[in-house]
Amino acid sequence: MKTEPLPKWIMRRYAKLWNAFSNRNFNFEKASNTLKEKDQRIIAIILSELDKYGWINIKQDPKDSRRRLYQLKKPNEAIKEMKNE
């Protein structure tokens, strides 16, 4: 997937998530606890935008197929992908 530059408001959230998880897997609840947004829909939007811009990988949780696991791309990998456009 092609990586694109993030809008500033998404980049701030990416940085918070990266500081908490680096490139380890995390779930929606952990993202919510880290970002401390009151509205769960905002968390869903943030994760969706990160996916849209190519900065996150999403897969099904092997323990519960109704849930998803998220993994952020390393910043240097994402930037390298942007350079190779």
Interatomic CA distance for residues 48 and 83, integer angstroms: 23
pLDDT at site 84: 67
Q: Is residue 1 part of a domain?
A: no
Rounded to an integer, the average pLDDT of 54-75 is: 95
Q: Is residue 77 part of a domain?
A: yes
Helices (H), 1-85: 8-21, 28-35, 40-52, 75-83
Q: Is residue 53 part of a domain?
A: yes
Q: Is residue 31 part of a domain?
A: yes
77: closest CA among 23, 13, 24?
23
Q: Is residue 69 part of a domain?
A: yes
pLDDT in tens, 24-46: 999 999 999 999 998 999 999 99
Interatomic CA distance for residues 31 and 77, integer angstroms: 21
Indicate whether 53 pLDDT > 70: yes
Task: Tell me which residue range forms the domain holding 46.
Answer: 8-83
Query: What SS3 class is residue 66?
Result: strand
Give the CATH number for residue 60: 1.10.10.10
Interatomic CA distance for residues 55 and 47, integer angstroms: 9
pLDDT in tens, 1-31: 678 999 999 999 999 999 999 999 999 999 9
Q: How confident is the model at residue 85 (pLDDT cuts 50, 70, 90)?
A: low
Number of domains in the chain: 1
Indicate whether 61 pLDDT > 70: yes
Q: Is residue 34 part of a domain?
A: yes
**Torsion angles phi and psi, residue 65, rounded to 5:** -65, -10
Q: How confident is the model at residue 81 (pLDDT cuts 50, 70, 90)?
A: confident
